[in-house]
Structure 1
Amino acid sequence: MMLEGISELPLHQGHVPAWLANIMKRLAKAILEIMVEEFGPDKIVERFSNPLWFQAFNNVIGMDWDSSGSTTVTTGILKEVSWNNPDLGFLVLGGKGRYARQVPEEIPYATELLGINSDTSKLLEKASRIIAKVDSVMLQDNYTLYHHALFVSENGVWAIIQQGMNLKHRMARRYHWFQDTSFYEDPHKAVAGIKHDLVLNLVSRESRKARKTILDLAKENPNTIINEYSSLFNKLKGQREILSYITPSRTGRIKLERINKIIIYEPLPLPKHILEKLRRTYEVQPGNLDDLLLIRGVGPKTIRALALMSDLIYNEPPSTNDPVNTPYDPFKYAYAIGGKDGVPYPVNKKDAEEVIATLEDIIYSAKIGRKEKLLAMKKLSKIKIRFRIVY
């Protein structure tokens, strides 16, 4: 299941009650142990790179059917279960808020516990930093990242799950990555959520030339770029250059009719605010996009300004398409034991305990031997989940 992408969910507040959190941990542990026995830890990490499978797992263990908390709570549950049971062969790092920023600190401990070499550890740290930048800088969709989690197996197979929030629309959007994904060209293969009309999508295939131009501009003398940028900034404010009263246009200067075709994604930052950042990129002379994004201070405003210059000067506009589609509805899995918010119905403790007991019994049997394991998996396939109709 080689599927990475974005999932979009409403922002919810509240917390998971202790009794439900305990059920979720036990049920998650039971399911993961079955998966390790059947597929191995690498496959578990790969599965979580699929946003739809992640949502299904979230719903099965009893979390809300459509909540932003499905990311933070489920990832938190998985992190606790994986660190308390290292024999599963994979670990979850990071999490929400300040925990997201702790991934670089947790990587050495995780790789040592899993027996991963130092070279892979460095690759994990770089991937974590680059992906955080890509989903906030290269894809500017008005969602602010506040959650970042790294999944890694004992063989070094990794996936990253991030989430951003849009307070205006009261929505959260989840981004899933798998290690074989290109960082800069159509990395999101599956997207479930609300499609927005206008985003700055520099990771689209359509933005290939714009990405090259942006990298070239980052190595140009910043004064040249700022002169053009300032001219655009002033024209958009309705100001005119004094020379425009003498001659209709000048070679190398911005023409008004060209500006009218430029798409402005957000209010432009003042030229003086990005000059210093452009000077940093000029000093570094980045050889590729990784180098550019990892320069301290290079964020959404700087890249947005360079994208506008790419469009304006070289007529290489970036894509404005939001990468959204909805292959299927994962919320049907909410009917396994119900959800915290009572949707589609309240969690039934008795039903949940029966599911857990059955899974735990299957796992116990599966550990006895190959024959018993096969019988146990047949039992699992026959489990009947009760559906309720709520009016």
Structure 2
Amino acid sequence: MRTGTANLPLHGGKCPAWLFTHMKALSRAIIEVILEEDGPDEVLRRLSHPYWFQALGCVVGFDWHSSGVTTTVCGALKEGLAELGPQAGLFVAGGKGRTARQTPLEIMNHADRHGLSCSAEDLVYASKMSAKVDSAAVQDGYDIYHHCFFFTQDGHWAVIQQGMNEDLRQARRYHWLGDAVESFTVEPQTAICCDFKAETLNLVAGENEKIREFSTHLVQENPDRLLAEIKRLQESSLTLPTCHPIPRTGYLNKALYAAYDKHPQDFEALLNVSGVGAGTLRALCLVAEVTYGTRPSFSDPVRYSFAHGGKDGFPFPVNEADIEQSYTTLKLALRKAKAGQREQLDALRKLARWHSESIRVQASPIPPSPPQSVSSKKSRVQQPRLFD
């Protein structure tokens, strides 16, 4: 169930330390309000929605359309919720680069330290499989470099991960919601976000059920026979599509023998075999296409930046006083609500509803051309403070 797309061009540079400090405070306050009002499962549902996540990045002051919003906002959430999260039964693991590979260990550490009313091994499996699907089963030219795993005390989870295509200077963000995953191998993501769509080999698309069945069947054949068939294809004069060329079989041999030894009974079990990656699955698709005559399918919020501005100065530079006032207001409303005085929190809810209903033009995807630079003093509209 995919919910939309968003532009994510690759941008260089780092988030300034002063801005990241404010991002942590404001994102924590926003999540704390959601936890107070609706609980941790609602937080997961919001994080799995690409437009809401993009709006969160805008409202906390990050660059409104950079790929860095994914890694930076997830980092701010992880640090901001380090103490609050476990108290509310909400945990964050993973991150960018090497930190992403530590996700299973972080999940187990949270389980040992805080105790979970669910299987930590199941959570580790969900983390690994979501990463494996988006890196191997969905072959779109984007290499996964960021994996952030959010989960609750009772085993509900969500994933935000991102891949990079250096040649295109583009990034693609993948959203998952555990409660919506009936199968890791049939349309598991809630959304895949990118501004560039190329031909994609999507082995978890609903229409590719036959390809998954044939791939599982093929690895139960003797590898010698399978490798001989691949060699015959390489030596033939057929012109195959350039979007999924047959790789060299040297590296493929080990993966095929490993899969044969495991005798996986279905596509999910095949995908979970160590060594079975994009190259192996791509080759199996080609063999299935020739052998069985089955061809795989090739398918694959910006107004919130006006709240506090953006890191790169669009639509105007971040105003520290405004962003600090925002999370101070949220924390004050929360503190009073927990003491039984919900007037300020209810006022925030009414303000949000009024503002949403008053917007005649709904938030839309990124416009085709970048906005023109304007004077921040002229472009800003001073909003009245909710509370003194």
How far apart are residue 205 of structure 1 and its match? 1.2
Partner-residue secondary structure (3-state), 1:382: helix
Q: Match for residue 202 of structure 1?
A: 203
Partner-residue secondary structure (3-state), 2:148: strand
Identify if the C-alpha distance between structure 1 residues 6 and 232 changes in structure 2 by more than 3 Å, giving closer, same or farther. Answer: farther
Query: Residue 212 in 1 paired to residue 213 in 2?
Result: yes
TM-score (norm 1): 0.85
| Residues 263-278 of structure 1: pairs in structure 2 closer than 5 A | 263-278=241-256
Output the amino acid matched with 2:328.
A
Query: Residue 336 in 1 paired to residue 335 in 2?
Result: no
How far apart are residue 95 of structure 1 and its match? 0.2
How far apart are residue 189 of structure 1 and its match? 4.1
Query: Residue 286 in 1 paired to residue 264 in 2?
Result: yes
Deviates more, 1:84-93 or 1:6-15: 6-15
Q: Match for residue 369 of structure 2?
A: none
How far apart are residue 53 of structure 1 and its match? 1.1
How far apart are residue 187 of structure 1 and its match? 2.3
Deviations 1:192-225 (A, max 9, x none): 4324231111111121111110110111111222
Deviations 1:282-329 (A, max 9, x none): 11111122321222211111110001111111011211112xxxxxxx
Q: Match for residue 91 of structure 1?
A: 91
Q: Match for residue 275 of structure 2?
A: 297
Deviates more, 1:177-186 or 1:138-147: 177-186
Partner-residue secondary structure (3-state), 1:83: coil
Percent of aligned positions with the same letter in both sequences?
40
Q: Match for residue 337 of structure 2?
A: 366
Partner-residue secondary structure (3-state), 1:160: strand
Deviations 1:128-158 (A, max 9, x none): 1111110011100000000111101122211
Partner-residue secondary structure (3-state), 2:65: coil
Contact preservation (8 Å) 2:47, 2:158: yes
How far apart are residue 6 of structure 1 and its match? 6.3
Deviates more, 1:43-52 or 1:7-16: 7-16
| Residues 105-120 of structure 1: pairs in structure 2 closer than 5 A | 105-117=105-117, 120=119
Query: Residue 60 in 1 paired to residue 31 in 2?
Result: no
| Residues 222-233 of structure 1: pairs in structure 2 closer than 5 A | 222-233=223-234
Identify if the C-alpha distance between structure 1 residues 188 and 8 changes in structure 2 by more than 3 Å, giving closer, same or farther. Answer: farther
Identify if the C-alpha distance between structure 1 residues 304 and 319 changes in structure 2 by more than 3 Å, giving closer, same or farther. Answer: same
| Structure 1, unpaired ranges of 5+ | 239-258, 323-329
Contact preservation (8 Å) 2:171, 2:194: no
| Residues 41-190 of structure 1: pairs in structure 2 closer than 5 A | 41-85=40-84, 86-117=86-117, 120-179=119-178, 180-181=180-181, 182-190=183-191
Deviations 1:47-97 (A, max 9, x none): 111111111111111111111111111111111122122323211100000
| Structure 2, unpaired ranges of 5+ | 356-375, 381-388
Deviations 1:161-203 (A, max 9, x none): 1110000011111111111313212223444432423111111
Deviations 1:313-367 (A, max 9, x none): 1011211112xxxxxxx12211111111112211112222222222222122211
Aligned residues: 356
- In the alignment, the residues of structure 1 paired with residue 27 and residue 46 of structure 2 have an alpha-carbon distance, to the nearest angstrom, of 14
- In the alignment, the residues of structure 2 paired with residue 114 and residue 150 of structure 1 have an alpha-carbon distance, to the nearest angstrom, of 17
Identify if the C-alpha distance between structure 1 residues 68 and 53 changes in structure 2 by more than 3 Å, giving closer, same or farther. Answer: same
Contact preservation (8 Å) 2:185, 2:268: no
- In the alignment, the residues of structure 1 paired with residue 204 and residue 234 of structure 2 have an alpha-carbon distance, to the nearest angstrom, of 26
- In the alignment, the residues of structure 2 paired with residue 194 and residue 14 of structure 1 have an alpha-carbon distance, to the nearest angstrom, of 21
Deviations 1:15-50 (A, max 9, x none): 121221111111112111111110011211221111
- In the alignment, the residues of structure 1 paired with residue 76 and residue 283 of structure 2 have an alpha-carbon distance, to the nearest angstrom, of 40
How far apart are residue 8 of structure 1 and its match? 4.8
- In the alignment, the residues of structure 2 paired with residue 183 and residue 294 of structure 1 have an alpha-carbon distance, to the nearest angstrom, of 10
Q: Match for residue 319 of structure 1?
A: 297
- In the alignment, the residues of structure 2 paired with residue 72 and residue 192 of structure 1 have an alpha-carbon distance, to the nearest angstrom, of 14
Contact preservation (8 Å) 1:335, 1:344: yes
Match of 1:350 among 314, 321, 324: 321
How far apart are residue 115 of structure 1 and its match? 2.9
How far apart are residue 388 of structure 1 and its match? 6.2
| Structure number, greater radius of gyration | 1
